[in-house]
Structure 1
């Protein structure tokens, strides 16, 4: 099973902390990470009235680092490595900010409109995190995986769907751990495509299913993000 390491930037002195040269440096640094299969940088996206409040509280950046081996991931997370260098660069660029880290197992789904990404590709992603706890996580995950992905895959224009669950891992990074019970993302071509999906009847059916989830307490923020893909050759 593929693994994904999330490095999440919160706070900071600017919602627009990264220019094109900063993005290029982050992508170049990712190429130095041995065993890295995929890299995605997410930055806040301009959104419409339905979710404009989420933009103000969204992370100023989220990076995703994909590996197909836990040992390679843990090696990449040791002090002095390329991921630490990227984290230091983000913190320096954004000013007073908080970086949080979390490694998770990836459940990836084939979508009706799936399309391979190229190095120049940008997408619009709806990032979701379940920050609290379910009363019975097995019941929660069983219901979620049985009922929700089939609905999500009906969203018009959806390009990618991934669901993430927690794993235990070792890290030499000093940044605080994130503790989301579950994360997921749905990816579209652009903000207009995301808006159309959110306005579709499928979204209402997803809300009905959400209301039937097993007991859960905690926040479940949804953030629209501009997603920039790196095209990497695994080492």
Structure 2
């Protein structure tokens, strides 16, 4: 599975996508040929406690679009397609003028004890993490991270989804800026409060203990809790 990330960022951290534009973006995304699923991420309406609040509120809007293979993803990134319009915020005035980046990555999914959302879940919350890189030795980095960190993530209480994304080469004709972060992660919970409870547990100490064992890398990392909306392809 391939994931395409597209991120709309405001350097001031103040702008947000409006509700009408979010609905319009969801309709556009549902019409993308070959897409298996779309995830739309928006900032929390009220902040919650988590260990990396200093990283800020996060982007104004982020997309994760899943494709069954790289060829389907690349086909969707043609200069005349829906994604090209999204990249320039066509018809989405609340996103106009923002910094827009994109990256295609391999999706690595890991099992959780219970992937079913609790009754009453309305808007799940994802914890988006990225490592810009680079690492001194990417193979050593990936080996350590994939062999150690997911098994700790799996012990977070009520985690519903764990995915890790790693780099690939891809081609596109999008007008937005390409980025090549060495890794992204995403954990999903039932709500921002559930995420805060999990990250306030003692599991975070195990995560930190493993962090100091990571092979050498530059660029630090960023962590953003984001409300999550799932979009299915339009039949």
Q: TM-score, length-normalised on structure 2?
A: 0.91
CA RMSD of aligned residues (A): 2.1
Which whole-Å deviations, capped at 9, do the CAs of 1:188-230 have from their partners, x for residues lacking one? 0111101101111111101100111111111201111111111
Give SS of 1:133's match: coil
Q: Is the 8 A contact 1:122 1:229 kept in 2?
A: no
What is the CA–CA distance in structure 2 between the aligned matches of 1:178 and 1:122, rounded to whole Å? 28
What is the CA–CA distance in structure 1 between the aligned matches of 2:179 and 2:47, rounded to whole Å? 25
Moved more, 42-51 or 92-101: 42-51
What is the CA–CA distance in structure 2 between the aligned matches of 1:208 and 1:12, rounded to whole Å? 32
Report how far residue 72 of structure 1 moved. Answer: 1.2
Report how far residue 13 of structure 1 moved. Answer: 7.2
What is the CA–CA distance in structure 2 between the aligned matches of 1:81 and 1:15, rounded to whole Å? 29
Aligned to 2:172: 171
Aligned to 1:73: 73
How do residues 159-198 of structure 1 correspond to structure 2 at under 5 angstroms? 159-198=160-199
Query: CA 1:48–1:122 in structure 2 vs 1: closer, same or farther (change >3 Å)?
Result: closer
Aligned to 1:20: 19
Aligned to 2:203: 202
Q: TM-score, length-normalised on structure 1?
A: 0.91
Matched, 1:144 2:145: yes
Matched, 1:155 2:156: yes
How do residues 38-57 of structure 1 correspond to structure 2 at under 5 angstroms? 38-45=37-44, 46-50=46-50, 51-56=52-57
Q: Which runs of 5+ in 2 are unaligned?
A: none
Q: Is the 8 A contact 2:16 2:43 kept in 1?
A: no
Aligned residues: 230
What is the CA–CA distance in structure 2 between the aligned matches of 1:93 and 1:191, rounded to whole Å? 24
